[in-house]
Amino acid sequence: MGAAVYFQHIKEALATIFDGMAVTASHMIRKPYTIQYPDRIPVRVQDTLPFRYRGILDVDLEICTGCLACDRACPIDCIAMAIEKNAQTREIIISQFDIDIAKCMYCGLCSEPCPTGAIHHTTEFEGADYSLESLIRRFIAEPVVAYKPKKGPEPEPDLARLLERGMKYVDEWAQPGADKAPASAAKPAPAPKPATPARTPATTRTPAKPAAVAAAKATDPAPVTEKREVAENTADAASAETAINSPAVGERNASNAPPSAAKEDAGKNGEESNEGTAPSGPKNSPS
Amino acid sequence: MTLNMGPQHPSTHGVLRFVIKADGEVMREAIPDVGYLHRSIEKIAEKVGYHGFMPYTDRVDYVCAMFTNQGWAMACEKLAAIEVPRRGEYCRLIAAEFNRLASHLLTVGLMGMDIGAMTPFLHALREREMINDLIEELCGARLTFNYMRIGGVAWDLPPGWREKALAYLDHLDPILDEFNALFSYNKICVQRLANVAAISAKEAIDYNLVGPNLRASGVKWDVRKDIPYSVYSDFDFEIPIGSGEWGTIGDAMDRYMMRIREMVQSSRILRQALTRMPEGPVLAKVVRNFRPPAGECQIRVESARGDQGWYVVSDGSSYPWRVRVRTGSFAAMGIIQKLSKGLMIADLVVLIASLDVIAPEIDR
Amino acid sequence: MFGANASHEWAVATAIVVACVLVLFVIAVPFASIVTWVERRVWARIQSRVGPNRVGPNGFLQWLADGIKHVCKEDVIPDEADAPLFKFAPYLVVLAFILPWAVMPFSSELILADLNIGILYMTAITALTVVGVLMAGWSSNNKWSLIGGIRSAAQIISYEIPAGLSIFPVVLMTGTLSMQGLIRAQAWEPYHWFIFANPFCFAAAIILFVSSLAENNRTPFDLPEAESELVAGFATEYSSMRYLFFFMAEWGNMFIAAAIIVTLYLGGWQVPHLGFNLAVINLLQFISFLVKVLVLVFVSMWIRGTLPRVRIDQMMSICWKYFVPLGFINMIGTAIWVAFFPHGNRLMAMVMFALGIAIVAAFGWRVAYFTRRSRMELYFHPTI
């Protein structure tokens, strides 16, 4: 090590340590970035959280339509619901609505398909308790009749208030639509770079892929219109952008077929497409 | 002497175990032992279906969850030939780049903590908390976002968010300079990191390294530029490459500085994206009972830890047949055993921190 | 002892014992405890957070709560450990912490024993820590503790040499080893302090400060204790009060190291000549000494919050390749200086003083630069 390098090391050490200490000194005179939760804060933290915050789930049972969309959507099976359809009055009776918040992973997939916003995330996050039993929130004490959405605005003021809050929550979610511009620079999805060359076992399957894709395209329109359970704006795509102004509940639910009918459709289509495409599945296992 | 750097340890990034064979201070071999965080996430996909798997992808790598979300969404979209609206792609890109910033902040902070400087760690985490606040306003969660959906994203930008995000980016630039002055350019940090565990370009490619680890060794490969996906080709940004200016090419200092430079580039992309967002919907119409046609697809996403590969096989039903995630951290574990020969025990910690190994990503 | 002056000698002996106990239990041990609270608060403010502020007013009793918690813990001695050595090791380390207080010059009258080899005594006693640390590392029957103990011993022994070399310039200039003698050779004005006497002394003061950091196992040299692979180095197997002994000794040694530097280079207890009575003057001198020592302790905490730690081989290379040669240059340079200017040089002292002021001013400018640039406060959460 030459003399120049030696003294350069010393100079660098002193200069960088000087700089570093200046930075820390500047932090000593600034205000600390600490929220002294829970007692030394001006407002409750729950009130400062954004509206979309995914805290502990809550259900407004008065506006629950009993459609079971949340039960189906939950990926971890933390919602347990039981409904019956009264044959004479054609009313839906909900006899059980339990949410196990210990299991819940706060993903929001249940509140997305809810037509009225009955099930929603609150800004509560303090749910710690002493017993595991108390973490199963049971919302039904005795069987209740499900809410039937009206065609126009809701007449009853209490329900209208709940509905307004629920729809406000639901409207935060993105409204599906498609790009208007035909010459958009968005890449066409089925034009990928081919898989890495080392994957030779896949060659046996590549002839099947275009056929499968074509078959899917052929059957695509049918499932899309029949199996739609998500409440969507059924107007054409051009008005999808104006979906921020939420239509009344009645319009939203126009396409919300009763759950049993949708299930039947799903079952039929399931059988069809399973027959058509099942053979390619088991062949995958060796690779 | 055989030592055990056990699964409970203050400085392995997650639950990792190393069996170290050492001669005093200098190691002969450090054998990694992974698997402590295996949760069968890939198998769970076969049970919960396509839409339901999105929150599970957050847990594959919880530090940069947006990229795993994006990988899964892109894989499903490719299987079913769904096109994401342009504004949706922009939202995805913005969320992903913010997440890259947050993840790199955590990594450089952890490097500080591992070599003994607690202050840079807390400064980096403070900045990360501000990003978390932004993302919390966007999607409601701070760590496991579940922001993206098949066909787009779940929420549009809330009103006023764009201005807040741009203000944050203005605030971040001097903070990065301050961070560099405090830690990155400090002589002690440079001495600890330079010339430690240098990986040559050939070695890096042989051992399957990706992301900043690969680029630090001089290989110019970034999925955003080389296999562009989403709308990355619309943006003007650079790919920093390791140049060995502090020591050798591909040493720990290069890998660390890659992340600092990538943060600057992410900030650049974000500014461009936020200022020219198109209007339109953010979510394409996708059926609730998603059933892509039978087939397979492979997707590559440039996550904060590198090239993340998703391979999904569908058999036409509403549950995937097989899902496979290939993450950068898993490959990085493989090279540790080879590099550890001749390193000191203190350097092993530096090596793990510079490779940015995150345990959940290794074991899934 | 017995005889005509027996009662007088008994009284003197009792007075000395009482004074020792007073110094230890009013100054030494409380300092070593309260400084943990101060360090945590200083450290927290550097890191943009608050630090302990719940136990007592502003968290002031945190050290008491920690102490009581440690005392109430179970005392675990590993089965395979060498029990007598294991139990004895903390006492050796605490001995090295307690003994130097005998020559601590609090003021011109307040010193327990003005030995004429004061500074040599202090340096020698602080080296006793090595024996205790090695004993702790070995008797724990734990490979990690052994590594930590050996590293720490190597570190302390190595850095004794630059520390000793940095004491030489001052001793050459004054010709005495006694603590009071060294202080009396300086005056209260900063340009009369030895640190500004000549550039060799300036460099020697810095080397002494850094070496004392290394001797106390403080960052950036805290490899034996806070290293990521070792939970607490040589003290891993210790619990409750024995563990506290090690760390009380470490924090207390910070005071002793700072006191050495203040005595040698920063003028000690010197205050301006004001016409007060003796008691008030001594009180002022005590406060002056205390303030200077606390400033140095604060700088030591500040460095801990800023710098990462060095690796063991880099630490050895810093000591032997940089500090020892520079220490020798300082010593020889000062010897030549004393040959030319036996009573010092006023001009050089003013130049060095101006240099010191310039460094502090540059530092303040840099702090202002950083504070102005990154406006963190604009992005605070509403609840802060």
Question: Tell me, what DSSP letter sits at residue B283?
Answer: B
Residue of C48, C144, C220 with shortest CB distance to B123: C48
Question: E strands, chain A, where?
Answer: 57-59, 79-86, 91-100, 119-121, 136-138, 144-145
Is this model's pTM higher than 0.90 or not? no
Residue of C229, C306, C376 with shortest CB distance to B5: C229
**Does B349 score more than 60 pLDDT?**
yes
What per-residue confidence (pLDDT) applies to C204? 94
Phi, psi for A183 (deg, rounded to 5):
-95, 35
A109 contacts in B (CB within 8 Å)? Answer: 51-52, 54-55, 146
C381 contacts in A (CB within 8 Å)? Answer: 35, 48
Element (H, E) at C377: none
B4 touches chain C (CB under 8 A): no
B77 contacts in A (CB within 8 Å)? Answer: 189
Cα C308 to its chain centre, rounded Å, is 20
Residues in chain B, total: 364
Mean pLDDT to the nearest integer, C35-64: 90
CA distances from A209 to A202, B292, C33 (A): 11, 12, 73
What per-residue confidence (pLDDT) applies to B22? 85
C382 touches chain A (CB under 8 A): yes
Range with the poorest average pLDDT among A106-110, A268-272, C124-128:
A268-272
- Assess if residue C160 is contained within a domain: yes
A180: number of Cβ within 10 Å: 15
Beta-carbon separation of B289 and A223 below 8 A: yes
What is the per-residue pLDDT across C148-165, written as a single tens digit (0 to 9) for each? 788 888 889 999 999 999
Residue B310, beta-bridge partner list: B299, B325
Is residue C138 a contact partner of residue C45, using CB atoms and an 8 Å limit? no
- Assess if residue C14 is contained within a domain: no
Q: Which domain holds residue C260?
A: 74-362
Six-digit token pair at A146? 């499900």
**Does C365 score more than 90 pLDDT?**
yes
ipTM, 2 dp: 0.87
Q: What is the interface size between B and C, counted as CB pairs within 8 Å?
A: 94
**Does A182 score more than 90 pLDDT?**
no
Surface-to-core class of residue B3, CB atoms within 10 Å of its CB (0-12 exposed, 13-18 middle, 19+ buried): middle
Residue of B158, B187, B286 with shortest CB distance to A12: B187
Nearest residue to B329 (alpha-carbon basis) of B234, B207, B173, B185? B207
What per-residue confidence (pLDDT) applies to C240? 76
Count of domains observed in chain B = 1
Q: Which domain holds residue B266?
A: 2-363
Phi, psi for B313 (deg, rounded to 5):
-115, 125
**Does B222 score more than 80 pLDDT?**
yes
Name the band, by pLDDT with cuts 50, 70 and 90, for residue C146. Answer: confident
What per-residue confidence (pLDDT) applies to C339? 92
What per-residue confidence (pLDDT) applies to A178? 73
What per-residue confidence (pLDDT) applies to A213? 39
Beta-carbon separation of A48 and C366 below 8 A: no
Beta-carbon separation of A172 and B155 below 8 A: yes
A27 contacts in C (CB within 8 Å)? Answer: 45-48
**Does B157 score more than 80 pLDDT?**
yes
Beta-carbon separation of A22 and C382 below 8 A: no
Six-digit token pair at A184? 């958009």
Kindly give the pairing relationship between strand B320-326 and strand B295-303: unpaired
Mean pLDDT to the nearest integer, C279-289: 90
Name the band, by pLDDT with cuts 50, 70 and 90, for residue A173. Answer: confident
**Does A215 score more than 70 pLDDT?**
no
Residue of A73, A186, A277 with shortest CB distance to B315: A277
Question: Tell me, what DSSP letter sits at residue C26?
Answer: I
C190: number of Cβ within 10 Å: 15
Please, what is the average pLDDT of chain C? 87
- Assess if residue C146 is contained within a domain: yes
What is the per-residue pLDDT across A120-160, written as a single tens digit (0 to 9) for each? 999 999 888 899 888 999 988 888 888 888 877 878 888 88
**Does A244 score more than 60 pLDDT?**
no
C378 contacts in B (CB within 8 Å)? Answer: 167, 171
Beta-carbon separation of B126 and C46 below 8 A: no
**Does C217 score more than 90 pLDDT?**
no
Determine the distance in angstroms separating the CA of B346 from the nearest CA of chain C, rounded to an integer: 7
Name the band, by pLDDT with cuts 50, 70 and 90, for residue B88. Answer: very high
Distance CA B71, CA B73 (A): 6
C383 touches chain A (CB under 8 A): yes
Six-digit token pair at C276? 């007060």
Residue of B51, B283, B296 with shortest CB distance to A176: B283
Kindly give the pairing relationship between strand A144-145 and strand A136-138: unpaired
Please, what is the average pLDDT of chain B? 90
Nearest residue to A233 (alpha-carbon basis) of A243, A222, A224? A243
C45 contacts in A (CB within 8 Å)? Answer: 27-28, 32
Determine the distance in angstroms separating the CA of B345 from the nearest CA of chain C, rounded to an integer: 8
What per-residue confidence (pLDDT) applies to A261? 38
Determine the distance in angstroms separating the CA of B19 from the nearest CA of chain C, rounded to an integer: 13
**Does C323 score more than 90 pLDDT?**
yes
B82 contacts in A (CB within 8 Å)? Answer: 189
Six-digit token pair at B31? 């054998």
Instruction: Pick the more confident residue, C243 or A243.
Output: C243
Element (H, E) at B23: strand B17-23
What is the per-residue pLDDT across C56-84, written as a single tens digit (0 to 9) for each? 888 899 988 988 998 888 888 888 888 88
Nearest residue to C246 (alpha-carbon basis) of C276, C273, C261, C225? C225
B239 touches chain C (CB under 8 A): no
What is the per-residue pLDDT across C238-266, written as a single tens digit (0 to 9) for each? 777 888 888 888 888 889 999 999 999 99
What per-residue confidence (pLDDT) applies to B76? 93
Asked if omega into C220 is within 30° of 0 (cis), the reply is: yes
Name the band, by pLDDT with cuts 50, 70 and 90, for residue A271. Answer: very low
What per-residue confidence (pLDDT) applies to B246? 86
C313 touches chain A (CB under 8 A): no
Mean pLDDT to the nearest integer, A83-97: 88
Find, in chain B, the residue whose alpha carbon is nearest to that of C375. B171
Mean pLDDT to the nearest integer, B198-214: 91
- Assess if residue C34 is contained within a domain: no
Enumerate neighbours of B (3 or more CB pairs within 8 A): A, C
**Does A278 score more than 50 pLDDT?**
no
- Assess if residue C384 is contained within a domain: no
CATH number at residue B111: 1.10.645.10
Distance CA A136, CA C295 (A): 57
3-state SS assignment for residue B356: coil
Determine the distance in angstroms separating the CA of B129 from the nearest CA of chain C, rounded to an integer: 10
What is the per-residue pLDDT across B18-56, written as a single tens digit (0 to 9) for each? 898 988 778 898 899 888 889 999 999 999 989 999 999
Mean pLDDT to the nearest integer, B200-225: 91
**Does A179 score more than 80 pLDDT?**
no
Distance CA B309, CA B229 (A): 13
Chain C interface disruption, residue of A26, A43, A123, most C CBs within 10 A? A26
What per-residue confidence (pLDDT) applies to A181? 53
3-state SS assignment for residue A43: coil
What per-residue confidence (pLDDT) applies to C8? 85
Chain C interface disruption, residue of A6, A29, A34, most C CBs within 10 A? A34
CA distances from A147 to A84, A143, B337 (A): 13, 13, 63
C376 contacts in A (CB within 8 Å)? Answer: 30-31, 33
C343 touches chain B (CB under 8 A): no
What per-residue confidence (pLDDT) applies to B333? 87
Beta-carbon separation of C228 and B171 below 8 A: no
Count of domains observed in chain C = 1
